[in-house]
Structure 1
Amino acid sequence: MNTCSFDGLTGRVVTPDDPFYYEARQVYNRAVNRFPLAIVYCRNSSDVSNAVLWARKRGICLRIRSGGHNYEGFSTGNDVLDIDLSEMNQLSINEESRSFTVEGGANNKQIYEFLSARGYPFPGGTCPSVGVSGYVMGGGWGLSCRYLGLGCDSLLRFLMVNSEGSLITASPEENSDLFWACRGGGGGNFGIIVSMTFSLPRKIDKITLVEIMYPSADQEKQAYFLLSWQDWLEHADPRITLVARIYNSQEDGRSILSRGFFYGPPEAALGSIAPLLELGGVKYRLKYVTFLEAVTIIGSFYPPYEAFLSASGFVSRELSECECFKLAELISNRPAGSIYTGLSLYALGGRVSEVPVDSTAFYYRDARYIVWLNTIFQNSKGENALWLAERFSYLSSVTTGSYVNFPYEGFPCYLEEYYGRHVCRLKKIKKEYDPCGVFTYPQAIGGSCFCSNL
């Protein structure tokens, strides 16, 4: 590990000599095991600027971390400077202009609690500790997206520390190309967002929390659920967004589970989900609760951390019965050390598809849903990686591209997978705002790490 002086860094600096270092270096996915040179917990934009300039002056690569939820651990690395924004989490609201502002380190839970106390929902993510800046920069799928749009669709403007350590504003009127790129172009590519302003949605009283379960579901039933899912989604009420999982766990065996939000009363929700309740052995619950209660219940199912490997793709066409059976077969045999294998379906459509494809960097507006294949394990990472690679070859044959917020390190040509035909424009914007490649990571726009001294 490199050794150097940390003079010039402001904020709270954690080095390998600090007893807190081992805990601080950990990210959500415990399959990631990296050792940064130091972690600087920034408290304001000046701390962020100082960190960028400190790293550039010494030719040290940096990483940007908010919630630490990048699935491949791209928000940290070995012998890099981790710039952690989690202590920058202040929020404010302007109901007159129907907007609210959050600092760059705020997470889903903090935003939900802040807005819900005032009667507002927010199209954020499902896991409470996910950093909203990274979530939004990747587009932002959540359980409100079919009704309220992706997370990035509510963004009005942001403040960013650029590669020169300067604070710049991006909006539809100012640095509009950068504003376009940071709505779907992936976190960590263009600079460090220190503040975001969003539009406020309409106030709501309650929503219906939907839960559908098939506790015992063999491979055939799981395949038929996949067929039912795609037929249902084609005509689904735009007020509902669901995530569904067919899985094979050590605890439950083969099962099916779907959860989500319906922006309306339970009676209407029941009519909406009726096609998903037609297989034998179904159980379901509809709870009419406040938005905060709904996101809190969903968030409670997430552990504080886990070790997993995963890959994703977008489904843009109707899958055949044979293809659905093959997808269900992917999770049949768990690899050594695995306690769970699953295939998750994240509903798109509704407001997501109403936004023109080229209006933001998020390219897959017209996809029907996202498919996510994963394995959770306690050991044997190598065997789980092999299991995923073998099955992803089939998954990729029936899907298009991949969701940048669900990255997969196995892609040989990752830019095209994440950004489709938006790649060329994103490369131009990257070159304009970060010509020296200061902001980089293994799958960054612009390639591998290259840090230029000032």
Structure 2
Amino acid sequence: MNKVNYIGLTGKLITKDSIEYKESIKSWNRAIVRYPLVIVYCYNEEDVINAIKWARENHKEIRVRSGGHSYEGYSTGNDVIVIDVSEINKIHIDEEKGYVKIGGGVRNREVYENLGNKGYAFPGGGCPTVGVPGLILGGGWGYSCRYLGLASDSLIEAEIINYKGDKLIANKDENSDLFWAIMGSGGCNFGVVTSMTISLKKKVDMGSLIHVNYPNANNEIILEVILRLQEMFKSLDRRMNLKTAIYNSASKGQGVKFTGLFYGSAREAKEILSSILNISKEIEVNIEDKSILECNRWIQDSHPDYEKYKSTGRYVNRDYTKEEINRLIEIIRNPAEGFHYTAVSLYGLGGAIADINKFSTAYYYRDARFIMGIQSVWEEDEYASVNEEWVIKSFKLIKELTEGSFVNFPIDELSDYEKEYYGENLSKLRKIKAKYDPYNIFDYPQAINRKENIKVKDNESKRCYN
């Protein structure tokens, strides 16, 4: 067996012989176990450029990792080179010009803290260790999105290293088609993002944290909560957003709960939510005034450090009947063997998201009402396959009730995934893929395919393509 020559790579290299290899290959989803050939922790653009060139010269597939949160492990793989940008994590705030520039490895918590301490809101995600560029690439759902827009809607500019190792600037004036594409296309389809510039939102002081739980709820209570929720969202104040979960916990039992954020007072929030706070006497209510930063800290701290799970998400575009809601409840009533936690969740959409035309960015499903997520979490490896199969089986029902899939919540078993993720924006995305990555250097499971196959000279591609 020939020894791999890593000459040309810079940054910190982790190979299979490294003491740190076992720890470095871990994904946030601990159910994902892959064995890359080498992990390159990049500290600057030059490290990224060298990694891309090395991969081409050595005929190795590339994966790009920041927070390591890909549901299906698309930021890693077996015998690949993982370009890890987590060390490119500087944050520069320019209050005078109204923007913040972040490195390709910056994560949610870091941006919340840096902006929140200066009084600014940020339309980021809920989990603290998710990479913000990855969040933005897929559109970016969060508890502020109905008020401030998707995370991608704040993007001003991005710096991207392409397949040649050249640095591209993408904004509304320069490489504007690429700029359009990276706002909702997901993953690493066109190159490695080394920085993003995001517009600062207006300063905010106080808001309200919302956490309401109906523990031990029977079918009738859960049904009534969902019926009232979908009615309430038709005219819900855009300053508020909720994530609602029909859940089953091995330790706490079954119920329905919602977590949310409101850019207003707790008193006003309770008035808005009054219709879903009186369905049962057995209810836990925590709606309190906090700074927006404190609200986001609470939400982030509610996430575990890591999990073993399978999960995905689809778009809800209509009201559901009682019969359809009961079918969803029954899914959760019958979890997989060995489950730790399972849920069907509704992530609120609308508001500012729908203000932008679905063709204005790659993010297509702007008129959807919710993202419907499904997940099963387990702790013991012996139950992995049965829980994964349970999600796949349950997904078939959810697919019948929904239209289109959320690219930041991918699932391997999704057929015709490009159409499902991108809708009518697919054709344009394929053309942009062919333009900016004509040789599929950035190829991974569920990557965007080129519009047409291209014959490549060996001396240019350094790889063999069909």
TM-score for both structures, normalised by structure 1: 0.98
Q: Deviations over 1:258-298 (max 9, x none)?
A: 11110011111111111221310222111211122111111
Q: Distance in 2 between matches of 1:360 and 1:10?
A: 35
The answer to whether residue 342 in structure 2 is matched with residue 333 in structure 1 is no
Q: Whole-Å Cα distance in 2 between the matches of residues 278 and 329 of structure 1?
A: 23
1:317 Cα deviation (Å)? 0.8
CA distance in 2, matches of 1:34, 1:124: 28
In 1, Cα distance between the equivalents of 2:312 and 2:102?
A: 30
Match of 2:371 in 1: 370
Instruction: Report the 3-state secondary structure (helix = DSSP H, G, I; strand = E; otherwise coil) of the residue aligned with 2:224.
Output: helix
Q: Is 1:223 matched up with 2:223?
A: yes
Q: Structure 1 residues 2 and 290, CA, compared in 2 at 3 Å: closer, same or farther?
A: farther
1:187 offset after TM fit, Å? 1.9
Please give the secondary structure, in 2, of the residue aligned with 1:234: coil
Shift in Å at residue 97 of structure 1?
1.1
Stretches of 4+ moved more than 4 A in 1?
Answer: none
Residue 388 of structure 1 aligns with which residue?
A: 391
Partner of 1:347: 348
User: Partners of 1:403 and 1:255 in 2: how far apart?
Assistant: 25
In structure 2, distance between residues paired with 1:112 and 1:349: 23
Spell out the pairing of 1:188-203 with structure 2 (5 A cutoff). 188-203=188-203
User: Percent identical across equivalent pairs?
Assistant: 42
Q: Decide whether the 8 Å contact of 1:2 with 1:79 is kept in 2.
A: no
Aligned residue in 2 for 1:358: 359
Shift of 1:3: 4.5
Match for 1:442 among 424, 441, 445?
445
Is contact 1:315–1:398 with CA below 8 Å preserved after alignment?
yes
Q: What is the RMSD of the two structures over their aligned residues, measured on CA atoms?
A: 1.5
Inter-partner Cα distance in structure 2 for 1:8 and 1:337: 47
* d(CA) in 2 for partners of 1:249, 1:283: 16
Aligned to 1:125: 125
In 2, the alpha carbon distance for the partners of 1:219 and 1:45 equals 54
Residue aligning to 2:245:
245
For 2:156, give the aligned amino acid. L
- Find the counterpart in structure 2 of residue 298 from structure 1: 299
1:422-453 Cα offsets, whole Å, 9 max, x none, are 111100000000000011111100189x9941
Letter in 1 for 2:202: R
2:434 aligned to 426, 431, 435, which one?
431
Give the letter for the 2:363 counterpart: F
1:318 matches 2:308: no
Any conservation in 2 of the 1:209–1:289 contact (CA below 8 Å)? yes
Structure 1 partner of 2:410: 407
TM-score (norm: length of structure 2): 0.95
Q: Which amino acid aligns with 2:349?
A: L
Between the aligned partners of 2:180 and 2:339, the Cα distance in structure 1 is 40
The SS at the match of 2:18 is coil
Distance 2:293 2:312 in 1: 30
Task: Render the CA deviation track for 1:347-405: whole Å, top value 9, x for unaligned.
Answer: 00000011111111001000000000110012322211221121111100010111000
Residue 295 to residue 2, structure 1, CA distance change in 2 (3 Å): farther
- In structure 2, the residue corresponding to 1:362 is in which secondary structure? coil
The letter of the residue matching 1:303 is: P
Cα offset, 1:225, TM superposition:
1.7
Point out where structure 2 has 5 or more consecutive residues left out of the alignment: none
Deviation at 1:2, TM superposition (A): 7.9
Q: In the comparison of the two structures, how many residue pairs are matched? A: 453
Q: Which amino acid aligns with 1:8?
A: G
The match for 2:92 is: 92
